[in-house]
Amino acid sequence: MHKEPAVLANISARVGSIGDNQLGCWYSYRASKSALNMLTRTLALEWQRRHPNAIVVAPHPGTTATDLSAPFRQCSA
């Protein structure tokens, strides 16, 4: 059993939330972030039992206005 304090952070996105999907769009990105969110949640539950000194989180920093996100900004409004 790992006894030292530890933190695992997966950078995620709000668009990966199934409950918060009000606009559609971003299909592939949503699917990948949903998978990351489920993996993080599952790991957090397991580590809660096996490694009580560990913290597992998936913060989302928000959508950044970049050339990559430009075609999808209409879905964010």
Q: What pLDDT shows up at residue 60?
A: 86
State the Cα–Cα distance between residues 77 and 67, nearest whole angstrom. 17
Residues 51-73: pLDDT tens digits? Answer: 999 999 999 887 778 887 777 66
Q: What pLDDT shows up at residue 48?
A: 93
What is the largest distance, in Å, between two alpha-carbon atoms of the chain?
Answer: 48
State the Cα–Cα distance between residues 62 and 3, nearest whole angstrom. 33
Q: What pLDDT shows up at residue 75?
A: 67
Residues 10-49: pLDDT tens digits? Answer: 998 888 887 877 777 888 888 999 999 999 999 999 999 9
- Of 74 and 48, the structure prediction assigns the larger pLDDT to 48
